Structure 1
Amino acid sequence: MKNRRVPNYELRALLTEAGWTQEALARAVNALGAEIGAALRYDRTAVAHWLAGTRPRHPVPQLVAEALTRRLARQVSPEAAGFTTAARRAAPVDPVAGFAALARADADAGRRPPLHQRPYRVADTVLPSPPEARGHGRPLGGRTEETMALHDAVAFFAGSIDAHGGRHARSALAAYLADDVVPLLHSGLARRARDEVLVGASRLAFLLARMYEDGLLHGVAQRYYTSAHRLAAEAGDRASWSVVVRAMSAQAQRLGHLPSALQLAEAAHHGARSAAPAQQAYVQAQLAVALARTGDRRGALAALARAERAAERATSQGAPFDSYPRAALHFQTSVTLESLGDLQGALASLRRAAGERSATDVRGRALTQARFGQLLLHTGHLDEACAAWDGFLTARERLRSGDAERAMRDMRRALTPHRNRKPAAELLARTVRGR
């Protein structure tokens, strides 16, 4: 820690405003650390040191500021919390410049650790309105001479996430963005061609965000999602913008920020009104989940019905971003119904999701089986739950996925009370051997 000369009166005032004890702030900082994959063990003693004038190492000032931001429901910067820093360069305003800076920092191994320690920021979930469509005549996102390599990269990295998990090939995609995509965006293309490249860059940034989210690095994932929606807006592509914002809603939901999740899902819904059926189904399915989680039963079921109608008109197979697998819709339907208290309907939808997962979607199959096991155990079916979890563990062996690791920890916690039953004991032993 680096000593300050005076006590941190700013932090003390914010603690008083928040109604927090020193121990409460320490717990909040530790919880935020878990969101970025950092195992922090701060207690009230550490906070007392901060109040006395010591400055914790990066990224703790940012974590403290985010914890207070969430508690006070207003933006608090590290400087406002009394952690003074040297003057920092302002973030680029231009979407391409911001994307270029992010990709280059990520590709530089020396700059990567601070980037990966960035916390998820609730304030960054407040977005502008959907972009104005530019009137391109035909939808963007097609395979053109300028975007052929980008399309191949999208297909490769999307398939890699499904087959191997988000922690596989992540640095390769970051390097590709920095070394190939950024120079292409600066190559002086004509307007239509540049817009096509912007959409391709947006899709690749979206995939890298998914990789980081699957690796449980939510702050840097949020930064890539932000770049992705800004690039789509720069191209005037409302459909692509809505797809990204929908994914941001799902991320906010999984982190427990339900008001942000609903706000983002509704923004995606408004932006996707004229999108292709597959994209509409993808957006409506998340809106259904967000509405269900916030207690709006009628709205959730209406959104689910819209998702079903759109899916009937869409293709379930095809290029990434142009299709929405039925298995994914069944999975979202299950989450919606479970949130509404319909456990039997949720189980039925999960059975359909498990049965329709593509053989190449190893990650999706694993996480579906893991959720199936949890829901079966919750409804009193231990043997069936263990059978589902057996399938999950088999698929997990092929994955490098933080979500799969978290699902395994959840499984172990759920099975521990049943460790004297043979199926549960065998699964628990198997997870110990597989570590």
Structure 2
Amino acid sequence: MTNRRGPNYELRALLTEAGWTQEALARAVNALGAEIGASLRYDRTAVAHWLSGTQPRHPAPQLAAEALTRRLGRPVTPDAAGFPVGSPDAPPADPVAAFTALCRADADASRRTALHQRPYRVADAVVSGPPGPPGPGRPLGRRTEATWALHDAVAFFAGSIDTHGGRHARSALCAYLTDDVVPLLSGGQPQRTRSEVLVLASRLAFLLARMYEDGLLHGVAQRYYTCAHRLAGEAGDRTSWSVVVRAMSAQAQRLGHLPSALQLADAAHRGARSAPPAQQAYIQAQLAVALGMSGDRRGALAALARAERAAERAGSAAAPFDSYPAAALHFQSSIVLESLGDLQGALAALRHATAERSPADVRGRALTQARFGQLLLHTGHLDEACAAWEGFLAARERLRSGDAERALRDMREALRPFRNRKPAAELLKRTVQGR
């Protein structure tokens, strides 16, 4: 930490407005650290030093500002909290310029750490309306001679996430975006070709966002999701825009920001009214989750029914962004049903999800089995839960995934009260740190 002149009156005023103690701010900063993969141990004493004028090291100023933003319900910058950190990192207004700047910062080793330590910002979980109605002609995002390599890249990296987890090949995708995709966006192509490239760049940005999210780096994931929906909007592709916004809703929901999750899910729903059935199912499933977790039983069940009907109408396409696997819909259904108190229905949905997972979807299978184990234990079925977790552990060994690591920690915590029971003891023994 470094010293500054005089007490930090700005931070003290914000703490008073928030009704927070020094300890409460320290806890909030530590919790936000977990969202960027950082294990922080700030306490009341650290905050007292900040109040006396000590400047904490990066990323504490950004985390403290975001914690106060969430508490107060209005944007708070590090400067406003008494932590001068230089110019804000607001992206350029032009979507292509913003995407270019983000990719180059991510590829630059001297700037990457600060980017990866950026917190998830609730104030940024807001989208403008979808692009205008699509024009005549074939849908965007189809394979053409000019975009053949981009389609191959989308298929490769989407498959890599499912098979190996989001921490695998992440730097490769970043380099590909910087070295190959960004130059294609610099202009010089016919408008139709440029729109195709924008959509495919959006898909690749979406995939890198998924990788970062699976690596528990939620702030930089949010930045790539934002670029993805802005690129899709620039292309005028309402379906691609809505798919990205739906994923942003799921991220907000997993982080516990239900108002943001619901607003984003509703925006995706409104933007995808004319989308193909597979994308409709994907979007309606997340709307059902957000509504269910917000306590709207009728709305959640109606959205889930729409998702199921759309899935029935969808074809058998297996290409990324053109399909929505039945196993994924069953997994979402289980979340909806559990949020509505139907535990048996949630268990039945997870059984279907487990049975229908593709062998290549190692990550999906692992997380389904982990969730299955938690719900089985919650309903009093220890032996069955341990059997499900055995399947999770077998799949997890093949993954580089922050979500899988978090599921492992959750499993250990859930089994600890049963450590004297043989199946639980055996699982805990297998998962001792470092083995």
Relative to the length of structure 1, the TM-score reads 0.98
RMSD: 1.1
CA-to-partner distance for each residue in 1:133-152, whole Å, 9 max, x for gaps? 34042211100122111100
- Partner residue, 1:378: 378
**1:296-311 map, 5 Å:** 296-311=296-311
Q: Do the aligned residues in 2 keep the contact of 1:315 with 1:324 (CA within 8 Å)? A: no
Q: Which residue of 2 aligns with 1:393?
A: 393
1:107 positional shift: 1.2
| Amino acid in the other structure paired with 1:352 | H
Cα–Cα, structure 1 residues 302 and 111, in superposed 2: closer, same or farther, change >3 Å?
same
Cα-to-partner distance string for 1:1-22 (whole Å, 9 max, x where unaligned): 2211121111111110000011
Q: 1:250 is matched with which residue?
A: 250
Partners of 2:264 and 2:90 in 1: CA distance = 26
Please name the residue that 1:6 is paired with.
Answer: 6
Question: Where does residue 103 of structure 2 map in the other structure?
Answer: 103
Q: Is the 8 A contact 2:327 2:356 kept in 1?
A: yes
The DSSP-based 3-state class of the residue aligned with 1:327 is: helix
Q: Distance in 2 between matches of 1:346 and 1:32?
A: 30
Please tell me the residue identity of whatever aligns with 1:165.
G
Question: Any conservation in 2 of the 1:316–1:326 contact (CA below 8 Å)?
Answer: no
Q: For 1:85 and 1:340, how far apart are their aligned partners in 2? A: 45
Is the 2:134–2:238 contact (alpha carbons within 8 Å) kept by the matching residues of 1? no
SS of aligned partner of 1:111: helix
Q: Which amino acid aligns with 2:279?
A: Q
Q: Does 1:17 align with 2:39?
A: no
Q: Equivalent residue for 1:116? A: 116
- Asked if the contact 2:249/2:264 (under 8 Å) is kept, the reply is yes
Q: Distance in 2 between matches of 1:189 and 1:434?
A: 52
**Partner SS state of residue 79, structure 1:** coil
Name the SS for the 1:38 alignment partner.
coil
Once the two structures are superposed, what CA deviation does each residue of 1:313-356 show, in whole Å capped at 9, x if it has no partner? 11354100000000000000001000000000000000000000
**Aligned ranges 1:252-331 → 2 under 5 Å:** 252-331=252-331
8 Å Cα contact 1:284/1:304 also seen in 2: yes
The 8 Å contact of residues 206 and 244 in structure 2, kept in 1 or not, is answered as yes
Amino acid at match of 2:377: L
Determine helix, strand or coil for the equivalent of 2:143. coil
**Partner residue, 1:403:** 403
Q: Distance in 2 between matches of 1:181 and 1:87?
A: 28
Distance 1:7 1:334, change over 3 A: same
CA distance in 2, matches of 1:67, 1:38: 15
Structure 1 counterpart of 2:243, which letter? V
Aligned equivalents of 1:99 and 1:24: distance in 2? 36
Matches within 5 A, 1:19-98: 19-87=19-87, 91-98=91-98
Residue 171 of structure 1 is matched in structure 2 by 171
* Partner AA of 2:307 in structure 1: A
The answer to whether the 8 Å contact 1:136/1:192 transfers is no
Structure 1 moving runs of 4+ over 2 Å: 85-91
1:128-167 aligned at under 5 Å gives the runs 128-167=128-167
Q: Counterpart of 1:186 in structure 2: which amino acid?
A: S
Q: Does the CA-based 8 Å contact 2:366-2:395 persist in structure 1?
A: yes
1:232 alignment partner in structure 2: 232
The secondary structure found in structure 1 opposite 2:77 is: coil
Q: How far did residue 375 of structure 1 move?
A: 0.5
- For 2:334, the aligned partner's letter is S
Give the match's secondary structure for 1:132.
coil
In structure 1, distance between residues paired with 2:316 and 2:219:
31
Aligned residues: 435
Distance 1:127 1:89, change over 3 A: closer
Residue 349 of structure 2 corresponds to which residue in structure 1? 349
> Measured at CA, do residues 8 and 240 of structure 1 come closer, stay the same or move farther in structure 2, by a change above 3 Å?
same
Determine the structure 1 residue equivalent to 2:222: 222
2:125 is aligned to 125
CA distance in structure 2 between the partners assigned to 1:375 and 1:241 by the alignment: 34
1:149-205 Cα distance to aligned partner (Å, 9 max, x none): 110000000000000000000000000000000001114111110000000000000
- Provide the rounded CA distance (Å) in 2 between the counterparts of 1:323 and 1:311: 9
Residue identity opposite 1:159 in structure 2: G
| Counterparts of 2:254 and 2:217, CA distance in 1 | 13
Measured after TM superposition, the shift of residue 433 of structure 1 is 6.8
For each residue in 1:63-97, what CA deviation from the matched residue of structure 2 results, as whole angstroms up to 9, or x when unmatched? 11100000000011111111123345763110000
Question: Partners of 1:206 and 1:414 in 2: how far apart?
Answer: 33
Name which of structure 1's ranges 212-221 and 186-195 shifts more when overlaid on structure 2: 186-195
Distance in 1 (CA, whole Å) between partners of 2:30 and 2:379 is 33
Kept after mapping to 2: 8 A contact 1:316/1:324:
no
Gaps of 5+ in 2: none
TM-score by length of 2: 0.98
Provide, for residues 177-235 of structure 1, a one-character-per-residue CA deviation record: whole Å limited to 9, x for no partner: 00000001114111110000000000000000000000000000000000000000000
Distance 1:87 1:223 in 2: 17
In 2, distance between residues paired with 1:357 and 1:364?
A: 7
Aligned CA distance change for structure 1 residues 237 and 4 (closer, same or farther; 3 Å): same
Structure 2 letter corresponding to 1:181: V
Q: Which moved more, 1:81-90 or 1:335-344?
A: 81-90
Secondary structure of the 2:353 match is: helix
SS of match in other structure, 1:146: helix
1:434 offset after TM fit, Å?
6.0
C-alpha distance in structure 2 between counterparts of 1:134 and 1:421, whole Å: 60
- Structure 1 position 111, deviation (Å): 1.4
**In structure 1, what is the Cα distance between the partners aligned to 2:349 and 2:179?**
43
Amino acid at match of 2:364: G
